[in-house]
Amino acid sequence: MIELIEGVLLTMLAAVTIAIVRQHNLFGVVILAGVYSFLMASVLIVLDAVDVAMTEASVGAGISTVILLATLYLTGSREDPPAHTPALPLFVATVTGAALIWGTFQLPGFGVAHSPIHDHVAPAYLEASTKHEMPPNVVTAVLADFRGYDTLGETTVIFTAGIGVMLLLRGRRKRQHGSAKEASDT
């Protein structure tokens, strides 16, 4: 049953990807990207990664779509005809894709219980969180407690991204205010 659901979801993901590539109206591309994110969130639910699915649905399908639509409002939604032949990008994409697929041959099989990731720190986290009566959702215990430094770093990344966008998009108006002030002073 689970194979059937996965098969349907992954087929739809591939179909949406092809539709995105073939679509020339950028508004359509943004909406299809939102559909892609919701399908990805469903795949993550099938994989029992509910926390990640929630993040994918809210950030990928929600916030990203809104911000991309706001960008389209600035740039217009028609795609310009390509300036060069797509031969070089096609070559780069094919080689990178082939390298990634070749890399997956080294990965342990799907759902194998004794893959390296399950034999290293994961059992220690599970054991410690049961022993000390930590929160029942181990994901929260790992994120906010065992790996608190990592999450501090991630929060700093979000902070940096926000500051960067604000500097890029709001900087010009500040300067305009400044020059207007200087003009009125002189």
Partner 1 sequence: MKLDLILRVGTKLILPFILIFAPYVHFHGDYGPGGGFQAGVIIAAAIILYAIVFGLDAAKRVAPQGLIERLVPLGVLLYASAGLPAMLSNKGRYLDYGVFGHHFAHAHEWGILIVETGVIITVSSTMLAIFYAFADRSRR
Q: How far apart are CA 77 and CA 161, in angstroms?
A: 25
Residue 170 within binding range of partner 1, rule CB under 8 A: yes
Which C-beta is closer to partner 1: that of 114 or that of 173?
173
Closest approach, Cβ 89 to partner 1, in A, equals: 28
Which C-beta is closer to partner 1: that of 28 or that of 62?
62
Which C-beta is closer to partner 1: that of 54 or that of 98?
54
What is the maximum alpha-carbon separation in the chain?
76
Among 165, 174, 175, 180, binds partner 1 (CB under 8 A): 165
Among 73, 102, 105, 110, binds partner 1 (CB under 8 A): 73
Residue 40 within binding range of partner 1, rule CB under 8 A: no
Residue 71 within binding range of partner 1, rule CB under 8 A: yes
Contact, 60 vs 41, CB < 8 A? Answer: yes
Which C-beta is closer to partner 1: that of 16 or that of 44?
44
Q: Which of residues 85-144 bind partner 1 (CB under 8 A)?
A: 132-137, 139-141, 143-144
Which C-beta is closer to partner 1: that of 32 or that of 53?
53
Q: Give the DSSP per-residue string, the chain.
A: -HHHHHHHHHHHHHHHHHHHHH--BHHHHHHHHHHHHHHHHHHHHHTT-HHHHHHIIIIIIIIHHHHHHHHHHHH-SBPPPPSS-THHHHHHHHHHHHHHHHHHTTSPPTT-TTSHHHHTTHHHHHHHHHHTT--S-HHHHIIIIITHHHHHHHHHHHHHHHHHHHHHHHHHHHHHHHHHHHHHH-
Binding site for partner 1 (CB under 8 A): 50-51, 53-55, 58-59, 62-63, 66-67, 70-71, 73-74, 132-137, 139-141, 143-145, 148-149, 151-152, 155-156, 158-159, 161-163, 165-166, 169-170, 173
